[in-house]
């Protein structure tokens, strides 16, 4: 998609197609000849893993929809029918339910990777923003999907989350009724959530295509954060990246399979095997694990901020925690991209990782006593990381010396090892290319 094409059609059919609609040329240039930095590590394999997870979710979802009934009187029973009567239905449903969790495992690692190596920095701002948009669509899709089995957590999760909108003054209640299609979560809600849950993954595919397009315009970052300067800094996508991605996928899917076959309900909640009851709230409502950090932020705001009451404040903080990601490229003032050369940023980054995991754990606890205080401190660090540490640190931090090129960094790393090369090669990157 960028640079000149090295595709040469060989057979007559290839030439015929290439002159009319050069799709094979696009595929060749994007996934075979496309140059990738030679020093990509396994943290860079999660894009491919996410692509395969999206495919798994769509395939299992489409077939589950053949057996599912989006009606409050039938939904719960139809899911149990899938589990007991439909041939291989149990497997498809467990793949879909655990697939959502593993989709989020992969996307969180992918986002952490982007934060660590500064993947959001110029000229990759749009690439990053498209990624955040994908994350947001994923969350909307997952939330609506969780309502479909029509268990207790489905119902009350939907009640609580659409209840966020009642926090907005004056129009809040009307917005909630508009979203629910009624005065409470009921059949119209279930129907529209099913329709949107089917639609959004295909919108995701569209944004993913834009994300990959943007990636192929700027090229990938790499652990050094130095742009590709020379042909020797790269290797061809196929076979190098293809085989590395494929191997990582196999390992990831092996763990996924372990969950599907040996602990399929570990990440779920037992209350969702009780049919939804609008008159009885479960003792302890928790969202799926991948929403817990945001849930902790929501509940952490227990105080009024000026004219904003605690309920609206919590909702604003929760949406703000995702919205801040959209402007991240302009919050980081550092000229150095990779945390490998930023000792202080590296420290704050790992604190941020611990902080978000801690928030997740707090989200699973009841909102009382010291849990609330801890959630407030963790929320404070979450926002400080983006709004204070990132802008300030970039101005005052002294980064380590950067290598001159990716090749130099690779050769320096391998010095004395099995791949030892003449020392001169490091100082003067290859010229024969």
Partner 1 sequence: MSANEVSEHNRRDFLYIATGMAGVVGTAAAVWPFIDQMRPDASTLALASIEVDVSSLEPGMSLTAKWRGKPIFIRNRTEKEVEEAKATPLDELKDPIARNANLAGDAEATDVARSAGEGKENWIVMIGSCTHLGCVPLGEQGEYGGWFCPCHGSVYDTAGRIRKGPAPENLHIPQYAFVSDTTIRIG
Q: How far is the CB of 365 from partner 1 (least distance, A)?
A: 12
67 labeled part of a ligand binding site:
no
Q: How far is the CB of 210 from partner 1 (least distance, A)?
A: 24
Q: How far is the CB of 194 from partner 1 (least distance, A)?
A: 14
284 labeled part of a ligand binding site:
no
CB of 204 or CB of 301, closer to partner 1: 301
Q: How far is the CB of 277 from partner 1 (least distance, A)?
A: 9
CB of 93 or CB of 299, closer to partner 1: 299
CB of 62 or CB of 171, closer to partner 1: 171
Q: In whole angstroms, give the CA distance from residue 7 to residue 10.
A: 9
CB of 148 or CB of 215, closer to partner 1: 148
Contact 148, 154 (CB under 8 A): yes
Q: How far is the CB of 314 from partner 1 (least distance, A)?
A: 8
- What's the CA angle centered on 173, arms 167 and 179, to 5 degrees? 105
In the structure encoding, which two tokens stand for residue 33, read together? 């000849």
Contact 297, 362 (CB under 8 A): no
Residue whose token pair is 């004395």: 416
216 labeled part of a ligand binding site:
yes
The dihedrals phi and psi of 35, each to the nearest 5 degrees, come to -80, 130
In the structure encoding, which two tokens stand for residue 323, read together? 């919205």
Residue whose token pair is 């754990």: 361
In the structure encoding, which two tokens stand for residue 103, read together? 């989709």
E strand or H helix at 239, and its extent? none
- CA distance between the termini of the chain: 22
Asked if omega into 239 is within 30° of 0 (cis), the reply is yes
Residue whose token pair is 């986002």: 111
Q: How far is the CB of 306 from partner 1 (least distance, A)?
A: 15
Q: How far is the CB of 128 from partner 1 (least distance, A)?
A: 31
CB of 42 or CB of 178, closer to partner 1: 178
Burial of 187 (0-12, 13-18, 19+ CB in 10 A): middle
CB of 283 or CB of 418, closer to partner 1: 283
Which residues neighbour 428 within 8 Å (Cβ) at sequence distance 6 or greater? none
CB of 181 or CB of 264, closer to partner 1: 181
CB of 235 or CB of 275, closer to partner 1: 275
Q: In whole angstroms, give the CA distance from residue 106 to residue 138.
A: 12
Q: How far is the CB of 154 from partner 1 (least distance, A)?
A: 14
CB of 184 or CB of 243, closer to partner 1: 184
Q: How far is the CB of 156 from partner 1 (least distance, A)?
A: 7
Name which of 410, 370, 382, 374 is nearest 320 in CA terms.
382
Contact 384, 376 (CB under 8 A): no
Cα→Cα distances 104→153, 255, 362, Å: 19, 14, 18
Q: In whole angstroms, give the CA distance from residue 153 to residue 277.
A: 10
E strand or H helix at 72, and its extent? none
Q: How many CA atoms lie within 13 A of 6 on its CB side?
A: 9
- Residues in contact with partner 1 by CB under 8 A are 156, 159-160, 162-164, 166, 177-186, 188, 192, 278-285, 299, 302, 309-311, 366-368
**Would you list which residues are annotated within the binding site for a ubiquinone?**
216
Summarize the annotated binding site as residue ranges. 96, 110, 197, 211, 216
């Amino acid at each position: 998609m960028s640079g000149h094409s090295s595709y040469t059609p060989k057979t007559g059919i290839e030439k015929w197609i290439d002159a009319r609609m050069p799709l094979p040329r696009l595929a060749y240039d994007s996934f075979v000849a496309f140059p990738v930095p030679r020093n990509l590590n396994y943290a860079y394999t999660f894009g491919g893993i996410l692509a395969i997870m999206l495919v798994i979710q769509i395939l299992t979802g489409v077939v589950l929809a053949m057996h599912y009934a989006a009606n409050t009187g039938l939904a719960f029973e139809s899911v149990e029918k899938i589990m007991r009567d439909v041939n291989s239905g149990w497997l498809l449903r467990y793949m879909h339910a655990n697939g959502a969790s593993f989709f989020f495992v992969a996307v969180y690692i992918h986002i952490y990777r982007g934060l660590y190596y500064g993947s959001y920095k110029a000229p990759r701002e749009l690439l990053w923003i498209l990624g955040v948009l994908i994350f947001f669509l994923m969350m909307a899709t997952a939330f609506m999907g969780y309502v479909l089995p029509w268990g207790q957590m489905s119902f009350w999760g939907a009640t609580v989350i659409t209840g966020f909108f009642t926090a907005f003054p004056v129009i809040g209640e009307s917005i909630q009724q508009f979203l629910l299609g009624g005065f409470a979560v009921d059949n119209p809600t279930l129907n529209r959530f099913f329709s949107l849950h089917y639609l959004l993954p295909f919108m995701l595919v569209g944004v993913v295509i834009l994300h990959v397009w943007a990636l192929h315009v700027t090229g990938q970052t790499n652990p050094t954060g130095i742009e590709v300067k020379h042909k020797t800094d790269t290797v061809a996508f196929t076979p190098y990246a293809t085989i590395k991605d494929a191997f990582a996928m196999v390992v990831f899917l092996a763990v996924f399979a372990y969950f599907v076959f040996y602990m399929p309900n570990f990440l779920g909640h037992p209350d969702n095997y009780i049919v939804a009851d609008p008159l009885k709230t479960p003792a302890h409502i928790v969202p799926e694990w991948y929403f817990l950090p945001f849930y902790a932020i929501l509940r952490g705001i227990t105080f009024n901020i000026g004219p904003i009451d605690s309920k609206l404040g919590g909702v604003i903080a929760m949406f703000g925690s995702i919205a801040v990601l959209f402007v991240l490229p302009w919050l980081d003032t550092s000229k150095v991209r990779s945390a490998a050369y930023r000792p202080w940023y590296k420290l704050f980054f790992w604190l941020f990782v611990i902080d978000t995991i801690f928030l997740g754990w707090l989200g699973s606890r009841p909102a009382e006593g010291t849990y609330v205080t801890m959630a407030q401190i963790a929320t404070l660090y979450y926002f400080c990381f983006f709004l204070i540490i990132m802008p300030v640190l970039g101005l005052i931090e002294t980064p380590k010396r950067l290598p001159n090129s990716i090749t130099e960094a690779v050769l320096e790393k391998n010095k004395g090892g099995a791949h030892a090369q003449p020392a001169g090669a490091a100082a003067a990157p290859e010229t024969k290319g």
